[in-house]
């Protein structure tokens, strides 16, 4: 068992005060540039580079004191200094958050560290939405939105990888490319359906040569191939065009199909009517011809465009996942949408009326788009699939970047996928989903350190003496001193993670938790913490947050504070789990009732300088903490070799 720097269980170390405010503005400003301005800017840059190359090189080759851990520093080619971002008019997930006026002098030491080692990502270039995940003939298949030509969003194709365990992956050739008039501007998001006879059907959105969003059909060229390397696009594509009244760029992302009691297959497609987000419904017998079903599966005013809709059943009583076509007694349904307006994934639990083709949420206050989210950080365009091999529902989600596109181009890649999560109904609350990393990720655990029943007094920060802290699986439990709970006065103000000052805002009962990706002098650190407030009714309300405001000295990265309320039931301890994988921090509270994913870009807390601390910044409450920390191995994610088929 590891031990903190003090030999006593009651920790008296002095607290390094959490500074007020972030190192830099919370979010780099977003700029929309006209083509002419970009062109002129490129000419100016080329001129400067031609006559002042030595200055540019010296700026971009600043090194750290940890050269032994990293590749040789390199400069960024001048042709990539001003990447062009495609705007929201493209009608698909994209990124534009670069600030060329305040570019930080990143070097290869820092940028190389940011690449994850056990999250899925391509070898290089841009990736976004997960597409058509499925389990087929012993292999997990993962398809994804991919730009093979660069580290920024562009003309999108489908990348493809396979795995035996959802952790170690083999990159296969591209599954589908933009080579037809109906997907000339992009092979966009889609879903897989496995028919009862084992056939695989893939429906996807194509952006046509005129940027009209249409739905297309594809299927494996060789169903006997467990790797599904080659795909055929249906010769009579498209199979669906935008219906009357729907915008030509507001019709995308077909769901996995489910079987109705009449023997027809049913799908839903996202759209909007003015500012009302809607889920259109279609029936089909053969996936080639479709009938528009009258009415809507669901609609919520004011939520804007719905993309990446997901619709699936969950068991009220059991812990196993359910096939997408299951309906009936002891079954609830989930509608999840990705809101194009704010780039977050929302869900609601409710009842599906097949006859009237209607979803009704159990709680109107938590309807789709206005209530619960899968994740309160950076997590978007998510997609579930039913894993029939282990009878579970598995969730994929895209974790985008919050640095600059300049940095993405310099490092040669952008975005990762979250660790796949199992999804079940939280039986204790009855209203929330539980999300938890798939059990297979635990196979990467190496040696562990355990710290039990540490009493952390108000205003304390404690180093946890472990090895390196850049690849970790952390589980922790916290208990607040009962005396402090009784003596704390009632508080009328609501606490909001994003607006209440982060970990620097001290209250009677919080914040307390862990500082991940911190350096020795705490000039960089990312707190993941609980904040408890006693309301005017005497009841405790707990928030679970991740604060990026002091995560980096860099000036061109996002530094938001993420999080939300987490239900804590009577007699429950506060519990969390954190997966740290270099620049990705995935956090789960109370068994996965509330989840928060962050992207972190430290400049000092990298390689061997990354540390882990326990902290309690409350003013009154002593907290008892127990923490177990595993070092994490790297996953094998590499190109496929034909000799590896078995």
Nearest to 638 by CA among 1, 259, 278, 123: 123
Q: For 506, how many CA atoms within 13 A lie in the half-sphere containing its CB?
A: 15
- CA torsion through residues 621, 622, 626, 627, sign: positive
Token pair for 644: 């590896």
| CB atoms near residue 465 (< 10 Å) | 13
DSSP state of 49: H
What is the C-alpha to C-alpha distance for residues 273 and 256, in angstroms, rounded to an integer? 23
Residue 129 known to be catalytic: yes
In contact, 388 and 399? CB cutoff 8 Å: no
State residue 280 phi and psi, 5-degree precision.
Answer: -75, 155
Token pair for 224: 């006997």
What is the C-alpha to C-alpha distance for residues 29 and 108, in angstroms, rounded to an integer? 24
What is the C-alpha to C-alpha distance for residues 214 and 182, in angstroms, rounded to an integer? 7
In contact, 169 and 637? CB cutoff 8 Å: yes
What is the C-alpha to C-alpha distance for residues 562 and 544, in angstroms, rounded to an integer? 9
In contact, 434 and 426? CB cutoff 8 Å: yes
- Residue among 20, 101, 129, 310 flagged as catalytic: 129
In contact, 602 and 86? CB cutoff 8 Å: no
Site of tokens 């009244």: 245
Rg (CA), the chain: 25
> How buried is 644 (Cβ within 10 angstroms: 0-12 exposed, 13-18 middle, 19+ buried)?
exposed
In contact, 532 and 510? CB cutoff 8 Å: yes
| CB atoms near residue 316 (< 10 Å) | 13
Q: Decide: helix, strand or coil at residue 41.
A: helix
Across-strand partners of 277? 272, 300
Sequence-distant (6+) residues with CB within 8 A of 521 are none
DSSP state of 643: G
Active site residues: 129
């Amino acid at each position: 068992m590891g031990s903190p720097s003090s030999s006593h269980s009651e920790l008296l170390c002095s607290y390094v005060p959490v500074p007020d405010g972030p190192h830099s503005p919370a979010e780099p400003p977003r700029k929309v540039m006209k083509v002419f301005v970009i062109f002129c800017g490129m000419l100016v840059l080329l001129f400067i580079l031609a006559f002042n190359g030595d200055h540019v090189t010296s700026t971009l080759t600043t090194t750290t004191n940890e050269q032994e851990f990293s590749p040789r520093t390199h400069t960024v080619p001048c042709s990539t200094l001003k990447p062009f971002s495609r705007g929201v008019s493209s009608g698909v997930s994209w990124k534009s958050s670069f600030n060329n006026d305040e570019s930080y002098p990143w070097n290869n030491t820092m940028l190389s560290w940011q690449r994850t080692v056990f999250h899925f990502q391509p070898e290089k270039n841009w990736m976004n939405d997960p597409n058509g995940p499925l389990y087929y003939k012993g292999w997990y298949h993962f398809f994804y939105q991919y730009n093979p030509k660069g580290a920024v969003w562009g003309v999108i194709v489908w990348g493809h990888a396979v795995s035996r365990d959802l952790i170690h992956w083999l990159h296969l050739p591209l599954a589908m490319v933009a080579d037809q008039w109906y997907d000339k501007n992009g092979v966009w998001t889609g879903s897989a359906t496995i028919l009862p006879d084992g056939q695989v059907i893939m429906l996807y959105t194509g952006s046509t040569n005129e940027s009209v969003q249409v739905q297309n059909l594809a299927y494996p060229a060789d169903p006997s191939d467990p790797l599904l390397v080659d795909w055929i696009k249906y010769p009579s594509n498209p199979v669906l065009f935008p219906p009357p009244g729907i915008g030509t760029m507001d019709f995308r992302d077909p769901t996995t199909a489910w079987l109705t009691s009449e023997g027809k297959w049913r799908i839903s497609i996202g759209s909007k009517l003015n500012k009302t987000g809607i889920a259109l419904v279609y029936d089909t017998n053969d996936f080639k011809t479709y009938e528009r079903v009258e009415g809507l599966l669901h609609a919520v005013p004011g939520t804007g465009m719905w993309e990446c809709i997901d619709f699936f059943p969950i068991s009220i009583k059991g812990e196993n996942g359910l096939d997408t076509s299951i309906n009936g007694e002891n079954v609830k349904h989930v509608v999840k949408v990705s809101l194009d307006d704010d780039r977050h994934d929302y869900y609601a639990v409710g009842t599906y009326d097949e006859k009237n083709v209607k979803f009704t949420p159990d709680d109107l206050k938590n309807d789709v788009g206005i209530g619960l989210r899968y994740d309160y950080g950076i997590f978007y365009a998510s997609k579930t699939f039913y894993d029939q091999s282990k009878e579970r529902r598995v969730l994929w989600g895209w974790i985008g970047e919050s640095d600059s596109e300049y940095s993405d181009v310099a490092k040669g890649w952008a975005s990762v996928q979250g660790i796949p999560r199992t999804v079940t109904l939280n039986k204790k609350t009855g209203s929330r989903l539980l999300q938890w990393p798939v059990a297979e990720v635990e196979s990467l655990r190496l040696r562990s350190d355990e710290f039990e029943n540490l009493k952390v007094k108000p205003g304390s920060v404690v180093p946890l003496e472990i090895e390196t802290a850049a690849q970790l699986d952390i589980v922790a439990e916290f208990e607040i001193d009962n005396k402090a709970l009784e003596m704390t006065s009632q508080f009328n103000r609501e606490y909001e993670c994003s607006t209440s000052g982060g970990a620097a805002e001290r209250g009677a009962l919080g914040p307390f938790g862990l500082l991940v990706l911190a350096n020795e002098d705490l000039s960089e650190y990312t707190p993941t913490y609980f904040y408890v407030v006693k309301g005017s009714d005497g009841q405790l309300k707990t928030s679970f947050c991740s604060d990026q405001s002091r995560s980096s000295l860099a000036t061109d990265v996002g530094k938001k504070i993420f999080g939300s309320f987490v239900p804590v039931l009577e007699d429950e301890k506060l519990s969390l789990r954190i997966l740290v994988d270099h620049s990705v921090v995935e956090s789960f509270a109370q068994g996965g009732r509330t989840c928060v994913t962050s992207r972190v870009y430290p400049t000092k807390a990298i390689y061997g300088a990354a540390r882990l601390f326990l902290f309690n910044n409350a003013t009154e409450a002593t907290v008892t903490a127990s923490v177990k920390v595993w070092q994490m191995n790297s996953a094998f994610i590499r190109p496929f070799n034909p000799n590896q088929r078995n």
